[in-house]
Amino acid sequence: MSAAEIDAKRQSSRVSEPLRGIVLKVASVCCFVVMATMLKATQTVPAGEMVFFRSFFALLPVLVWLVGRGRLADAFATKRPLGHVVRGLVGVGSMSLGFFALTRLPLPEATVIQYASPLLIVIFSAVLLRERVYLFRWTAVLIGLVGVLIILWPRLTVFSGQSTAEDAEAIGALAAFTAAILSAFAMLQVRTLVQTERTETIVTYFFISASVLSLLTLPFGWVWPSPQQAALLVGAGIVGGIGQLLLTSCYRYADMSVIAPFEYVSLILTIIIGFFIFADIPTLPMLVGSVIIVASGIAVILRERQLGLDRSRDKEASTP
């Protein structure tokens, strides 16, 4: 669950325009897919360098938006600077591994493995935050993780002594799954931050901290990008920033449970782009695992919606 999603749950006074919310969500998904495509197209650029360009140039549209709404000062007002640093560290780790996976795996596969993150959030919420999780959600999560395993299993040949290319794909698959784990931890941190911080504050400080922290990877082999690579890197950052703004806006107009399933539109887009731009042909395990993960994710979302409705009824019934 992103900062935008959590913050949206607190905005009971928003205008209800589900279609507008869905359009904004799909537009944000398209932006993030374009961003991932641009980053993958850079190929030889190290993941740490990708993180810098994606974060630093994402600040441009975000800052323009904040200035236009007269909320720039609010974005820098924080009560928990250390919390933003922790969020930045975990988020940068997740982003770096996710971008590394893009350089080693087909675009759809790198994308779908990270769909495990919402499932892992359920597990970590139960174990670390002591949230109550009932049998239905546990079942959906476990089935979803089986789908992840179906995708990962053919790639896990890193110690099998097979070809270098296969070993690189195995490392990429493990990197993508580790990125999903770190992303889940980052979202738990966001859950605590959103209690005192504005959404724009969380987003702004994350991009700033990610830009700074990514510079620590300079000694590990940054490359001087070609003009084409530089254009792709800058474009990825700007498009990613626009996608973040669209994501933040979409939850103002409809419930999270209505909008969240449209995240999976990215799977269709990445399969199409992967085929026509990178000549990636989806494998049977990837397709089967994807269907299982997506079905499990939607089941968790719908169950969350039902629990929310039940809690609302109970609250209304208890009101004198």
d(CA 268, CA 245) in angstroms, rounded, equals: 22
* pLDDT at 84 exceeding the cut of 70: yes
* pLDDT at 279 exceeding the cut of 60: yes
User: Which region among 40-54, 127-141, 223-237, 282-296 has the lowest average model confidence (pLDDT)?
Assistant: 127-141
d(CA 92, CA 208) in angstroms, rounded, equals: 11
* pLDDT at 257 exceeding the cut of 60: yes
Q: What is the mean pLDDT of residues 259-280?
A: 92
Q: What is the mean pLDDT of residues 27-51?
A: 95
- Return phi, psi of residue 225, to 5°: -70, 145
**Consecutive H or E run containing 268:** helix 265-278
For the entire predicted model, the pTM comes to 0.87
d(CA 124, CA 134) in angstroms, rounded, equals: 14
Task: Quote the pLDDT of residue 107.
Answer: 94
- Return phi, psi of residue 159, to 5°: -110, 15
d(CA 199, CA 157) in angstroms, rounded, equals: 41
d(CA 116, CA 110) in angstroms, rounded, equals: 11
d(CA 99, CA 42) in angstroms, rounded, equals: 11
* pLDDT at 10 exceeding the cut of 60: no
Task: Quote the pLDDT of residue 179.
Answer: 96
Burial category of 282 from C-beta neighbours within 10 Å (exposed 0-12, middle 13-18, buried 19 and up):
middle
Task: Quote the pLDDT of residue 143.
Answer: 95
d(CA 236, CA 225) in angstroms, rounded, equals: 14
* pLDDT at 40 exceeding the cut of 90: yes
Task: Quote the pLDDT of residue 60.
Answer: 95
Mean pLDDT of the chain: 86
In degrees, rounded to 5, the angle at the alpha carbon of residue 260 between the alpha carbons of residues 271 and 15 is: 135
d(CA 318, CA 16) in angstroms, rounded, equals: 26
Task: Quote the pLDDT of residue 157.
Answer: 62
Q: Residues of 84-123 as b/e, b for ≥16 C-beta within 10 angstroms?
A: bebbbbbbbbbbbbbbbbbbbbbbbbbbbbbbbbbbbbbb
Side chain identity at residue 232, one-letter code: L
d(CA 209, CA 84) in angstroms, rounded, equals: 8
Residue 207: which of 59, 97, 25 has the closest Cα?
59
* pLDDT at 290 exceeding the cut of 70: yes
Task: Quote the pLDDT of residue 7.
Answer: 52
Half-sphere exposure of 319 (CA within 13 A, CB side): 6
Task: Quote the pLDDT of residue 163.
Answer: 62
Q: What is the mean pLDDT of residues 42-46?
A: 90
- Return phi, psi of residue 314, to 5°: -60, -40
* pLDDT at 241 exceeding the cut of 90: yes
Biggest CA pair distance of the chain: 70
* pLDDT at 320 exceeding the cut of 70: no
Q: What is the mean pLDDT of residues 51-70?
A: 95
Q: What is the pLDDT of residues 101-155, one digit of tens each?
A: 999 999 999 999 999 998 998 899 888 888 888 888 899 999 999 999 999 988 8
Q: Where are the domains of the chain?
A: 3-318
* Most confident of the ranges 55-69, 70-84, 119-133, 151-165: 55-69
* pLDDT at 87 exceeding the cut of 50: yes
Q: What is the pLDDT of residues 92-107, one digit of tens each?
A: 999 999 999 999 999 9
Instruction: Give rounded-to-5 percent helix, strand, coil for the chain.
Output: 80, 0, 20
